[in-house]
Structure 1
Amino acid sequence: MTQGAGQGPVVRTATLRDFRVPPYAQVPVQGHSAYPQPQGAPVPEPPQRQPVAPPPAQQVPPAPHPGNAFPEEEFPDGYTPTERDLPVINRGDTLQVSVTPDAAPEPAPGVPGPGPGPLYVVGDVHGYLDELLVALREKGLVDADGHWTAGNTRLWFLGDFTDRGPDGIGVIDLVMRLSAEAAAAGGYCKALMGNHELLLLGAKRFGDTPVNSGAGTATFQAAWLLNGGQKNDMDRLQEVHLQWMSRLDAIVEQDGHLLLHSDTTAYLDYGATIEDVNDTVHSILTRHDADECWDLFRKLTKRFAFRDDGGADAVRELLAAYGGRRVVHGHSPIPYLLGEVGTEDADGEPVVPVVAGPHVYADGLAIAMDGGVTMAGRLLVQQLPLAD
């Protein structure tokens, strides 16, 4: 948040992220095999993005960029930087696919014609609209003004558009607009339901209504704030955003890739087929039952099912039910899956995570796409399939 002329210092209240597995997500999922959650102490806080001083009053501020973003180098009122906290397990048996940043934007990847265009996926955005626009431009999916330039390309967002970052509503506005522009060009831009969409919907609909969390009582409002909820997002949230989020699918299969947000087998609780899962999730959101919505949020906040012993079997369990040859997910940041957070170099300095690209693991059956943009990582946009 940037202070205006004549304003005093602004006090920022640090809030926790849901990078750790919260207590309400640790209740075992019934009906299929359970996979243990990781153990470990909280890790040191990585460097945070710092607000930049505003331009002098006599200067004309930069115009807002596409997606209803805030002016460059300026945080909106109500933006709260958040801390990081997640158990870390060092791993040496995983593979990270290197994706070298482009020196210049790529040519438009899709051209109108028969058959589907190339397939791209986008990891967790969490309100970082500037970073999203840069990543999309680097892949040739949008132009300098943020408009679709990718012809019949197919683009899937894997969920978690809001919270933690400064402009979650701007991200949703951009994705909604790109959906219309892509359809007009012969392609499409679609999105999946993330746990933070469920959290924002619940905070708006149910507020401080107590829910049965499985570990006592809780509220959506408290959980939303605890997990990086931003006041400026809530203030700008409109009915069109609520309707859009509530209609998102939870899981889809594309070209042999099973796309979903969370690295958990909890989707199996909601149906034996992709259609069943999506219909069940939509029905739950339609019924507006706080306890039922909380249980859905709790289960889709679980993580790490595909990591460690039994991880490949967990992926196979999902693939056997829903089809596909690989799972592609967001939710769990790659730096944590790789064990690169909380470590020190030879001089005792904290190691800053470097995310080169998607993370392939679980015997090559899972691809993680959350590049950790909220922890100075990278917002990933990747074409599928990846080379084996």
Structure 2
Amino acid sequence: MTQGAGQGPVVRTATLRDFRVPPYAQVPVQGHSEHPHPRMPEQAQPPRVPEQPQAHHTDAYAPAATHSAPHPGNAFPDDEYPDGYTPTARDLPVINRGDTVQVSVTSTPVTTPAPAPAAAPGNGPGPLYVVGDVHGYLDELVAALREKGLIDADGHWAAGNTRLWFLGDFTDRGPDGIGVIDLVMRLSAEAAAAGGYCKALMGNHELLLLGAKRFGDTPVNSGAGTATFQAAWLLNGGQKSDMDRLQDVHIQWMSRLDAMVEQDGHLLLHSDTTAYLEYGSTIEDVNETVHEILRRNDADECWDLFRKFTKRFAFRDEGGAGAVHELLAAYGGQRVVHGHSPIPYLLGEVGTEDADGENAGPNVQGPHVYADGLAIAMDGGVTMAGKLLVVQLPLPH
């Protein structure tokens, strides 16, 4: 998910009191560990000094040691938000209503991979799984896929004709976004060879990374003064290590991702917004329009697409069900399944305390069903000490 611009970095904590861009988001991270990254409280975090990228330079990704200018986010005047940005924890409203429910997902120890999903009888399609926002947390993703029996102990596809969809946001904030993309690309080939498939949708962070790579600090039209993709990427968890390792094959793969798809009565998309309706009246139209915009390579047009995919919360509160119905009427399906907006915020689990008075992290057990049962939220808040969700559809009743 994308936070508001013009706000200072803070250290990541397990309390969910704030999830603005932490200092580590601007420090190169080399590789990834063999075990999931621990979620440490703020006081246990080793001190890090954020880099100071140069605001205007020819090589947008030169070594940070040569940078001395202020953070490029200072381009936004008077702490105003660029048009389309979403405020962060300080202003982010939460809901905790009786018509929402969190669906528990059965877990098995990550050290013992679950049996591979059973193949569908006959020649029909295999089981359908979806994955929420990953944001560079490669170890957590591998553990979650093993837990569901989708990959084996060596990280190879083990699910036969199973269908696996990622809902976008592979990079930024976590330590190994390129590693996540590499894994998804490899699993796509392995799944196809086994009679299944592993596919992915376009998230706003894919648009953000593409924009930062293509346009750097080129000014774009914004509703609040001068904005740049480079500044927005850094402010929203852009990792220098990801940019350094980004290759043409990754750029081509991201550029060709679809924005939405319908599967077994589920309309899968990344963002909980009705902005998709601005890009076409059918799924095919929306996907082709997004691809055309990226092919035209116009900075302002790509920025407008990015900011619209950053909008959120269209499906909650009093008008939420109506917004979902509007999307389903246009594109088909009986339910919308999305990522982007973290479940902890939809549940109101922000800054809670445990029985001992200590700050507690979110209690994310599974996807969040809301909007009169028409919407399923899949962003478990892995960047906020939550959970990376891999779930089979349809959900159990």
The residue that corresponds to 1:249 in the other structure is 258
Task: Name the residue aligned to 1:91.
Answer: 96
Q: Does 1:369 align with 2:378?
A: yes
Change (3 A) 1:234 1:145: same
Instruction: Summarize deviations over 1:65-108 as a string: whole Å, max 9, x none.
Output: xxx95343699xx9979xx7352424132100011321342211
Q: What amino acid is aligned across from residue 92 of structure 1 in structure 2?
A: R
Distance change (3 Å), C-alpha of 1:121 and 1:100: same
Question: In the alignment, which of 19, 25, 34 is matched to residue 72 of structure 1?
Answer: 34
Aligned amino acid, residue 116 of structure 2:
A
**Structure 1 vs Structure 2: percent identity of aligned residues?**
78
d(CA) in 1 for partners of 2:137, 2:271 = 19
From 218, 235, 249, give the equivalent of 1:226.
Answer: 235
Report the secondary structure of 2:89's partner residue: coil
Matching of residues 176-255 of structure 1 within 5 Å: 176-255=185-264
Contact 2:204 2:306 in 1 (8 A): yes
RMSD: 2.7
Q: Compute the displacement of 1:376 (Å).
A: 0.7
Deviation at 1:201, TM superposition (A): 0.1
Report whether the alignment pairs 1:335 with 2:335: no
Instruction: Give the match for residue 321 of structure 1.
Output: 330
Q: CA deviation at 1:385?
A: 0.1
- 1:18 is the counterpart of 2:27: no
The letter for the 1-side match of 2:96 is R
- 2:296 pairs with 1:278: no
Equivalent in the alignment of 2:132: 123
Measured against aligned partners, the alpha-carbon deviations of 1:176-195 in whole angstroms (never above 9, x if no partner) come to 00000000000000000000
SS of equivalent to 1:286: helix
Change (3 A) 1:43 1:99: closer
Partners of 1:190 and 1:211 in 2: how far apart?
31
Mapped partners of 2:96, 2:36: distance in 1: 38
Quote the Cα distance in structure 2 between the aligned partners of 1:89 and 1:122. Answer: 23
Determine if contact 2:135/2:169 at 8 Å carries over to the other structure. Answer: yes
Residue of 344, 349, 366 corresponding to 2:358: 349
Q: Is residue 2:230 matched to residue 1:268? A: no
Cα-to-partner distance string for 1:144-164 (whole Å, 9 max, x where unaligned): 110000000000000000000
Q: Distance in 1 between matches of 2:5 and 2:118?
A: 41
Matched to 2:94, the amino acid is I
Distance in 2, Cα, partners of 1:269 & 1:342: 36
Q: Given the superposition, is the C-alpha separation of residues 73 and 120 from structure 1 closer, same or farther in structure 2, using an over 3 Å criterion?
A: closer
Q: Give yes or no for the alignment of 1:152 onto 2:161.
A: yes
Q: CA deviation at 1:343?
A: 3.3
2:139, 2:17 → 1: CA distance?
26
Structure 2 CA distance for partners of 1:69 and 1:191, relative to 1, 3 Å:
farther
CA 1:250–1:329 in 2, change beyond 3 Å: closer, same or farther? Answer: same
Across the two proteins, how many residue pairs are aligned to each other?
Answer: 332
What's the CA shift string for 1:31-65, capped at 9, x where partnerless? xxxxxxxxxxx97248x9999xxxxxxxxxxxxxx
| Cα distance change, pair 43–187 in 1 and its aligned pair in 2 (3 A) | closer
**Residue equivalent to 2:114:** 106
Matched, 1:380 2:360: no
Residues 202-226 of structure 1, C-alpha deviations (whole Å, 9 max, x = no match) = 0000000000012222000000000
Residue of structure 2 equivalent to 1:55: none
TM-score by length of 2: 0.78
Aligned residue among 265, 268, 275 for 1:259: 268
Structure 2: distance between partners of 1:347 and 1:365: 37
For 2:310, the equivalent position in structure 1 comes to 301
Pair 1:49–1:210, CA change in 2 (3 A): closer
TM-score by length of 1: 0.80
Residues 22, 237 of structure 2: 8 Å contact kept = no
Q: Any conservation in 2 of the 1:253–1:259 contact (CA below 8 Å)?
A: yes
| SS of the residue 1:300 aligns to | helix
The aligned counterpart of 1:31 is none
Q: Does the CA-based 8 Å contact 1:79-1:165 persist in structure 2?
A: no
DSSP-derived class of the 2:181 partner: helix
Alignment partners' CA distance in 1, 2:376 and 2:50: 30
* Structure 1 residues 266 and 216, CA gap change in structure 2 (3 angstroms): same
Correspondence for 1:290 among 281, 293, 299? 299
Q: Taking structure 1 as reference, are residues 49 and 213 closer, same or farther at Cα in structure 2, changes over 3 Å only?
A: closer
- Write the letter of the residue equivalent to 1:70: H
Residues 36 and 139 of structure 2 are in contact (CA less than 8 Å); yes or no, is this contact kept in structure 1?
A: no
Aligned-partner SS, 2:277: helix
Contact between 1:80 and 1:164, CA under 8 Å: does it hold in 2? no
Amino acid at match of 1:281: V
State the 1:110 CA deviation.
4.1
